[in-house]
Amino acid sequence: MATETPNAERLAFYERIGKHDMTPLWEVMQGLVVPEPKSPCLPALWHYDDIRPYVLEAGELITAKEAERRVLVLENPGMRGESRITRTLYAGLQLILPGEVAPSHRHTQSALRFVIEGRGAYTAVDGERTLMEPGDFVIMPQWTWHDHGNESDAPMVWLDGLDIPLVQLLDASFAEPYGADEQILTRPEEDALARYGSGLLPVDYETRSVTSPVFNYPYARTREALETMKRAEAWDPCHGLKMKYVNPVNGDYAMPTMATFMQLLPKGFESSPYRSTDGTIYVCVEGRGQTAVGEQTFDWGPRDIFVVPSWAWHHHVARTDDAVLFSFSDRPVQQKLGLWREERQAA
């Protein structure tokens, strides 16, 4: 690999081959095959109280219908202008005001919703509606019709997580409008949860999708599970009590491109330093604490959102009470490709 500035003879050569759309590997190789991940993604934190006024102000500027999706994108400060929060994932805060509808469409990007504020607005996916509450994790599988509406009397805000940059990298985006604001509903509300999310499956169920058939993983159930498991006091030194959301059909992650997790850090718990190759987006659901990422320390509380880049050492502290953190990343993709790595700091 060449490290010095090329001499005149080499430069002239590069220019000649450049005319044939060729370039010498030895001038670029070091930047291509780095000894360990070097991400443009920076650690970042959004305090919900700071940004909430802007989300609501957007509601005065444009309707959900005109915008199609009224969302303020959370852009990683290291990648402004790229509509991404990590290299592979997109995140944004979506607002639906009472009486509004976000019209139906579908696309090959998968989406997750994590409810931040408000209760009782719905999202409809593939013929079924689910009413959403704070802390609910709701799935929108790729290429399914989806629309949202708010028949409650308060604004509703949720975090959208999509695999947009990943699909963009693969040049595999397709999208189309449904042609009406709302899709036709074919199943009763909460049918998917009863059918697939109750420790049961229809006896002759055959998988037709790479995505979990559970549509909404309600926070009430998740929280209760954590509270019960907490009694065993079996804390992972790096994660506290950390659970992954799974597809009940095959035990895989709930979504093919995004892994989702919920973790409980008991009051006063200080986790050991940890890093992994999946840049991760966290949302605090309950409690207050701190996360040190590299040289930075983030103080977080309920509804705050922060990002830990790929391969960045980090550790968490729960300060005032038990803390509950939701998180998501591209881990399923990395694991399927044999690329995912993690490291725990030696005790």
Q: By CB under 6 A, is residue 69 in contact with ligand 1HN? A: yes
Q: How far is the CB of 59 from ligand 1HN (least distance, A)?
A: 15
Options 86, 88, 94, 152; binder of ligand 1HN; rule CB under 6 A:
94
Rounded CA separation 283/223 (Å): 15
Q: Does 71 bind ligand 1HN (CB under 6 A)?
A: yes
- Rounded least distance, CB 73 to ligand 1HN, Å: 8
Decide: is 146 part of the binding site for ligand 1HN (CB under 6 A).
yes
From 89, 162, 166, 265, residue interacting with ligand 1HN (rule: CB under 6 A) = 162
**Which of 41-49, 158-166, 208-216, 277-285 is the region at the interface with ligand 1HN (rule: CB under 6 A)?**
158-166
Out of 55, 64, 93, 111, point to the residue binding ligand 1HN (CB under 6 A).
111
126 binds ligand 1HN (CB under 6 A): no
Residue 85 found at the interface with ligand 1HN (CB under 6 A): no
The least CB distance from residue 69 to ligand 1HN, in Å, is 4
Q: How far is the CB of 123 from ligand 1HN (least distance, A)?
A: 7
Q: Which string of b and e fits 103-117 if b means at least 16 CB within 10 Å?
A: bbbbbebbbbbbbbb
Site of tokens 């790729």: 142
Which tokens go with 331? 């881990």
Among 160, 163, 286, 304, binds ligand 1HN (CB under 6 A): 160
Tokens of 82: 């790229």
- Report the 3 state secondary structure along 146-161: EEEECCCCCCEEEEEE
The stretch near ligand 1HN (CB under 6 A) out of 47-55, 159-167, 283-291, 295-303 is 159-167
Question: Tokens 């973790």 sit at which residue?
Answer: 263
Residues 6+ apart with CB under 8 A from 309: 39, 41, 42, 43, 86, 279, 293
Contact of 256 with 110, CB cutoff 8 Å: yes
* Per rule CB under 6 A, count of chain residues that contact ligand 1HN: 12
Separation between Cα atoms, residue 335 and residue 278, nearest integer Å: 10
- What is the C-alpha to C-alpha distance for residues 148 and 64, in angstroms, rounded to an integer? 9
Q: Which parts of this chain interact with ligand 1HN (CB under 6 A)?
A: 69, 71, 92, 94, 102, 107, 111, 146, 148, 160, 162, 164
